[in-house]
Structure 1
Amino acid sequence: MESEKPSFKEQSLIKMIQRMLNLIIVLVAFIIILPLLIYNADTISGWFKSSNEKAITPAFPEAKPEKGNAVATTVAYWQPKAMDAIADPTLKEQVYYGRELIAHTAKYLGPNGSVLQITNGQNCQNCHLQAGTIAFGNNYGSVASTYPKFRARSGTEENIYKRVNDCFERSLNGKALDTSSKEMQAIVAYINHIGSNVPKGEKAVGSGLKDLAFLDRAADPIKGKTVYETKCQSCHQANGEGVLNPDKIEYSFPPLWGKHSFNDGAGLYRITNFAKYIKYNMPLGVTHENPQLTDEEAWDVSAYVLAQSRPHIAVPKDWPDISKKPIDHPFAPYADPFSEKQHKYGPFKPIAEKAKK
């Protein structure tokens, strides 16, 4: 026996109820999703930016009141000149390749590099954050505008090629790039382009590293070990070896000591540089306005990291005029009576006062 089919009126009523249910579902979903869209508007808008904008344009902060360990911001910091506006297609390709080499140095020039095998496996942007574009993140904002320039470390006038190769030989514990190579030309083109909006002879606002007050005592590696274990070890690992990606090509978190880290001739081997760098950039994700580490933690954990073993580089021609050595240069001889240990860990106020006289 066939079941009785619903009448036309009943069918219309069923359809109307289904439409009402669908409408209610849409409204409920809208009510739930709308606050999430509003809250994450900045993140969502970033999905629709060009890859260049995502990669090299940091979000520069607006002024914020001072609160706790945060720092009030009232200035506009340097931003890299946009890359997608480059008219010359050949130059554009070169600049983009330069950025790629800065961001993924190991992929091309590391121990398993596709072009050369001349570095320790770290990337330039491990020290020069977001390919050298972040305020007080060791950025490249002032490189094009200030080079060539005299550097007391070598006692000579240096060009950008020399400066780049210093990083290859020291921070990347590797070999110098041929200055005429495609890779060196691309790196220099990138640095020159993003800093071309800074007038010649001037320094970009927010370039270099942010100042950090000296302690009244020496930085303490023992105290620093506790800081490291609490706030650094989860990324850089217990023995400072970092985390190598499964492809064995790049590090997701770079080594801080050991054979794959920067050597003892690198700029970050000086504790004032290292402490400034981590105070305002670490743990990864903090900004110079809202640092997480206290001053004492930054100095002490720097002392701990720099007390560990790392590669040595022989640089007998460094600092031909020893009176020009920075107060935290960790190797004698010095033009003052302070010990090598004090020059490495402090206290630095007596050394600085002596230098003024």
Structure 2
Amino acid sequence: MTCKTRFKSVLFMILASGFPLGVSAIDVSPYQPGQSLTTGQALELKKRFKNRPMGVWRVNDSSNIDTHKNAKLIRYGIQILDHTADTIGPNVSEPQKRFSGNNLSCSNCHLKGPSGLPGTKYYGIPFVNVMNDYPNFRARSMKVGTIVDRVNGCMSRSMGDGKPLPENSLEMQAVLAYFNWLAEGTATNQAMVGVGLPVIDIPNRKVSLHNGKRVYKSQCAQCHGESGLGVKEAASNRHSGYLFPPIAGRDSYNNGAGMSRVIKATRFIYANMPFGATANATVLSIDQAYDVAGYINSLKRPERADRDKDFPNPRFRPIDYPVPSYFIDDATKLEQAKYGPFRTSRLQEKK
């Protein structure tokens, strides 16, 4: 059976079993996915999203996956997310399956919880409610975005200069199968405690790169390396990904990724780093996380083309996204967007 024939066979089984190719958990009417929004429309959708009912944190029992009607597809989705480099990375033997642009795995950022499944850690950018979060307004494009758009945003930013997964591809449908399994038992159009990253009080000062480097060497270098280039999986594991991911260099996320923003990186580091820390049992202080986030993002990493096309409406631009074209002839404001102070002590954004 050829790869193309196998794909058609699997896709037919997906459709026959009733597995949805696209899920609309949030009513965005009268707008449509892909539609560009005015400022007023965007604000209305943001308000609608913010006012959703709140659900409790929950992760499904992984022991029931293999009895699920979509078990093979779900397992393939887990493989893609947890061993991305080996499954859809640049060194995969089948050229048509080389989607990811570096050797990171999705689970390097969407962390594993006690279940061992990717994207199941409380405040570790989890996937557990992601199917209930879309479609919604995406400020980066000023459009109504879908879960497919969200996945492919990561592919071209966090995963280097990757290529989008076609919506009807086996790989995209496997990822969505896993997301749908995680969402089973939840209510559509609900928010959930523990998703995204915690809202914290960001220091109202400029990042100290000197202190950030000191914190990095004492708390981070043991895993991520002195130069931030990470630690590869042992050759005996037959994996080409990382045991501890790089936070600099060619295999790191590019400067268009969410983690390249100091405030977002601070929230992630504070709730999850060093390895073993949790949002309920942190190791670093917020000040330490803030400085080390600034230091990490001062290191060299891949540069994304056309960043000036991100966030076309200035009203919705993150204050920590230092794109030079946003600050023409204002080097001071560009520096402030890199390292602060960010003129606010309370950050409300979730995405």
| 2:107 matched residue in structure 1 | 125
Identity %: 36
Please state if 1:242 is matched with 2:230. yes
| 1:146 matched residue in structure 2 | 133
- Residue ranges of structure 2 left out of the alignment (5+ in a row): 1-53, 113-117
What amino acid does structure 1 have at the position aligned with 2:337?
A: H
* Cα contact 1:83–1:95 (8 A) shared by 2: no
> Post-superposition shift, 1:89?
5.0
> Post-superposition shift, 1:330?
1.7
* Cα contact 1:107–1:249 (8 A) shared by 2: yes
Secondary structure of residue in 1 paired with 2:144: strand
> Post-superposition shift, 1:223?
1.1
| 1:344 matched residue in structure 2 | 338
Residues of 2 paired with 1:187 and 1:352: CA distance?
34
* Cα contact 2:252–2:302 (8 A) shared by 1: yes
What amino acid does structure 2 have at the position aligned with 1:343?
A: A
> Post-superposition shift, 1:231?
0.6
| 1:272 matched residue in structure 2 | 263
> Post-superposition shift, 1:196?
3.2
Residues of 2 paired with 1:82 and 1:245: CA distance?
27
* Cα contact 1:262–1:310 (8 A) shared by 2: yes
Please state if 1:229 is matched with 2:217. yes
Give runs of aligned pairs for residues 147-296 of structure 1, distance below 5 A.
147-173=134-160, 174-247=162-235, 249-296=240-287
> Post-superposition shift, 1:90?
4.5
* Alignment counterpart, residue 103 of structure 1, candidates 60, 82, 107: 82
Residues of 2 paired with 1:250 and 1:158: CA distance?
29
* Cα contact 2:205–2:340 (8 A) shared by 1: yes
- Residue ranges of structure 1 left out of the alignment (5+ in a row): 1-74
| 1:58 matched residue in structure 2 | none
Residues of 1 paired with 2:76 and 2:277: CA distance?
28
Secondary structure of residue in 1 paired with 2:191: coil
Residues 295, 89 of structure 1: alpha-carbon distance in 2 compared, 3 angstrom cutoff? closer
Residues 326, 197 of structure 1: alpha-carbon distance in 2 compared, 3 angstrom cutoff? farther
* Cα contact 1:198–1:204 (8 A) shared by 2: no
* Cα contact 2:109–2:125 (8 A) shared by 1: yes
* Alignment counterpart, residue 78 of structure 1, candidates 44, 48, 57: 57
Give runs of aligned pairs for residues 47-86 of structure 1, distance below 5 A.
78-85=57-64
* Cα contact 2:123–2:197 (8 A) shared by 1: yes
Residues 230, 184 of structure 1: alpha-carbon distance in 2 compared, 3 angstrom cutoff? same
Cα deviation code 1:101-129 (max 9, x no counterpart): 11111111123235533320000000000
| Cα root mean square deviation, aligned | 2.4
Residues 160, 114 of structure 1: alpha-carbon distance in 2 compared, 3 angstrom cutoff? farther
Residues of 1 paired with 2:285 and 2:65: CA distance?
42
* Alignment counterpart, residue 331 of structure 1, candidates 317, 320, 323: 323
TM-score normalised to structure 2 length: 0.74
Residues 256, 86 of structure 1: alpha-carbon distance in 2 compared, 3 angstrom cutoff? closer
> Post-superposition shift, 1:246?
3.3
> Post-superposition shift, 1:198?
3.0
Cα deviation code 1:134-174 (max 9, x no counterpart): 11000013311120111111111111111101111100112
* Cα contact 2:255–2:304 (8 A) shared by 1: yes
* Cα contact 1:141–1:198 (8 A) shared by 2: no
| 2:298 matched residue in structure 1 | 307
> Post-superposition shift, 1:351?
9.4
Secondary structure of residue in 1 paired with 2:192: coil
> Post-superposition shift, 1:230?
0.6
Secondary structure of residue in 2 paired with 1:208: coil
What amino acid does structure 1 have at the position aligned with 2:275?
A: L
TM-score normalised to structure 1 length: 0.73
Cα deviation code 1:285-324 (max 9, x no counterpart): 1111111111111000111100011101123431121111
What amino acid does structure 1 have at the position aligned with 2:315?
A: S
Give runs of aligned pairs for residues 23-42 of structure 1, distance below 5 A.
none
Stretches of 4+ aligned residues off by more than 6 angstroms: none
* Cα contact 2:203–2:345 (8 A) shared by 1: no
* Cα contact 1:271–1:302 (8 A) shared by 2: yes
Secondary structure of residue in 1 paired with 2:98: coil
Cα deviation code 1:252-302 (max 9, x no counterpart): 011101100000110111111101101110111111111111111100011
Residues 324, 186 of structure 1: alpha-carbon distance in 2 compared, 3 angstrom cutoff? same
Residues 125, 77 of structure 1: alpha-carbon distance in 2 compared, 3 angstrom cutoff? farther
Residues of 1 paired with 2:76 and 2:93: CA distance?
14
What amino acid does structure 2 have at the position aligned with 1:325?
A: R
Residues of 2 paired with 1:129 and 1:87: CA distance?
22
